[in-house]
Amino acid sequence: MPTSIVYLLGEARDITGNKDSAPDLYDKKIRGISSFWVGGLDKQDHFPVSNRDAKRVRAYQPLLQENVQQTYGGQKLQVDEALKFKFVRTLLIDNYDSYTYNIYQQLCVINGVPPVVMQNNEYTWEHILYTLYEERAFDNIVISPGPGSPTCPEDIGVCLRILLECKDIPILGVCLGHQALGYVHGAQIIHAPEPVHGRLSEIEHARHQLFQDIPSGRNSGFKVVRYHSLVIDANTLPDEIVPIAWSYSGETLPFHDYYKADVLKDAIGGQADHNHSKYSEETKSSKVIMAIMHSKRPHYGVQFHPESVATRHGRKIFENFKELTMDYWLSSSQVHERKVHNNARMQVPFSSRQFNELPKTKLLGNGYQVNLMSMSRPAMLTCKSIDARFLKLKWKKFDCLARQVGGAQNIFCELYGNQKADNTFWLDSSSVEQKRARFSFMGGKGGPLWKQVTFRLSSQSDIVAKAGGYLSIEDAQGSVKSVYLEDGFLDFMNKELRSLHYDEKDFEGLPFDFCGGYVGFIGYDLKVECGMSFNRHKSSVPDSCFFFADNIVVIDHRYDDVYVLSILDDYHLEKTAMPFENSTPWLDAMEQKLLHLKSSATNNVKERKPRSAVLAQHEAGFDADKSRDQYMEDVKKCLKFIKDGESYELCLTTQIRKRIEHIDKLGLYLELREKNPAPYAAWLNFSKENLCICCSSPERFLRLDRTGMLEAKPIKGTIARGLTLEEDEQLKSQLQHR
């Protein structure tokens, strides 16, 4: 079925001291895993609570969930089961954090209806206030984690005002949201004793309803994931903020070590071997607040991440917050009115239409205002009028042929290597050892449906999001037309793909999903079409280039089979005035070429390669963009960013350059694939743009198959080099098999 294969193209750039202009610091928004547990206040191994905290806990003991029931005004609440909510409507405030949609997934299941996601600077306060109190669109609010500090207005947005003024709406803050709850009422935010990112801790809680049916204390089975560099200063808590959970600052371990500890504990019948603990006596004198509550408002905060995959009992915390929400509204004077609103609104597919019906206004950093489409409902790109094209596919299979004719490299060079391999592509699985890839796809200009589309953002994209750009289309005959796309390239590509229709019977028997269509790359600057405010940098190459490949060759590396595929549409079939079954001149010609290839042709390929190697030796060395001292200074800046909570993992990059006046581009790629074979390598030669992409990647960003399964195969994690070759090999093996 015609589809598209996309490669991302970007540039590494310099780091500066300004947080908003540090494109080299790619914020790794992939969270780790963690979980942990702690003992209750009545255990011998309880956390030492200060006199000040102990008094506060005793003073607000009626608010802590010792039993299942909760008290209101001294009277135990008898909940009318008939008034129980069928749905709970949550406003989820996104502080620009990757964990937000992990929370979203949990709330979808627990609440019975998806929450509405709103970024922290997306709407005016007046509109939020109207939606919460006039429309009564939501039952509770969750404030997400995020980079930065609640003391910085740019990081926290509207969250502080919501915490101050929405005193009668249940609110749960996670990580940054937790810190905001403490800060807005007067607590100070300070550096943690040490940054804790992607690590596990055990927590002891005070049995508040937020932790109902969750164990407490060391060795209890309650482990949580932590990602933070800042904490609430326990010595500055105002009287109205009550701590309800704690952890020690030094008692953290990576998930891998905790997993081994759990296996050991299970093996000895549940008794932990404390000789294997890495806890030190020095760390047991300090503790970190892990959860708080407001004494007079239904506001709560947790410093850890209950939504993380490795946090034990994480879903239960969200379930308990749902119960707290329902109990709060059922005990209030507005219970019947709220129930009417709830039952009326919750029968629609989305939890609230309020944030979808009005345009949202965002104030960009440079002062420009733009109206953006709502991102709170599932993304659906609409096309008012799409010209349908009906495609037919014809293909042939040659069993066990690839090795007989010299392999994938020989096939590509013999079929497409002439004329410098201009206007060709090769999605190359040059490494298949670990079964990460199976097929290679290749093709070039020649078929009647072939075309090249090239897109460049307009200069306005540096100022305003989604400003459109210029698209040029070259067809198989070489004619070029240019148009201005007001709605941008992704909208164009969506319409293109939706216009293609086909008969699924044509694809029966093919073991791969890509059977022709668009092949190319998308540059990072197109992020302005995905919600980014503007581009700080401008790429010197097109923002996107694609071939429409109507004739392709596919190699199945598992079985050594070769496939040739050809696509035609109704127009070209009518033009040839012959049945589709007989309209296969390219297939016939390609069959003859494949069957006449000799394995010895591999020697001809090797003659191409020394040119790039000779040129590489012509001028020794590369020029680095930054000196060693500059680079080490950037490392210090990275560490400060992490310490200040701006990120938890940074990728610092720089560039080294070597100017080569003349180069055999295909020879360079062939040498690259030989020295660094990879499962997802690629050759893309857009000769008209003087742009050639030589890619040797061990990871695949995204893959969407015909069943709708979306798969990512990123490569994350590294390890320091060893001092000797033997140690280096041991570390390499440890990283591979961890």
Closest Cα to residue 155, out of 179, 171, 129? Answer: 179
Which of the following is catalytic: 159, 166, 175, 638? Answer: 175
Mapped onto helix, strand or coil, the DSSP state of residue 508 is coil
Question: For residue 534, what is the DSSP state?
Answer: -
Q: Are 140 and 171 in contact (CB under 8 A)?
A: yes
3-state secondary structure of 120: coil
- Residue whose entry in the numeric block shows the structure tokens 């954090």: 97
| Amino acid letter for position 346 | M
Look at the block and give the residue holding tokens 């992409």.
693
Q: Which residues pair with 713 in a beta bridge?
A: 700
Dihedral of alpha carbons 401, 407, 408, 409, sign: negative
For residue 248, give every residue at least 6 positions away whose Cβ sits within 8 Å of its Cβ, in sequence order, or none.
47, 201, 279, 283, 284, 286, 287, 288
Which residue among the candidates 204, 307, 323, 529 is catalytic per the annotation?
307
- Per the CB < 8 A criterion, the answer to whether 455 and 491 are in contact is no
DSSP string, 2-28: -EEEEEEE-------SSGGG-TTSEE-
Catalytic residue among 305, 413, 474, 557, which?
305
Number of H helices and E strands in the chain, helices first, is 19, 35
Spatial distance between the Cα atoms of 210 and 212, rounded to a whole number of angstroms: 6
Confirm if 149 and 178 have CB atoms less than 8 A apart.
Answer: no
CB 221 within 8 A of CB 56: no
305 is catalytic: yes
Report the alpha-carbon angle 43-45-47, nearest 5: 95
- Residue ranges of alpha helices (H) inside 33-171 are 51-59, 100-111, 125-129, 153-156, 159-165
Query: To which H or E segment does residue 493 belong?
Result: helix 489-499
- Helical packing angle, 665-675 and 407-416, nearest 10°: 170
Q: What span, in angstroms and rounded, lies between the C-alpha atoms of 303 and 292? A: 9
Helix (H, G, I), strand (E, B) or coil at 624: strand
Residues with catalytic roles:
175, 305, 307
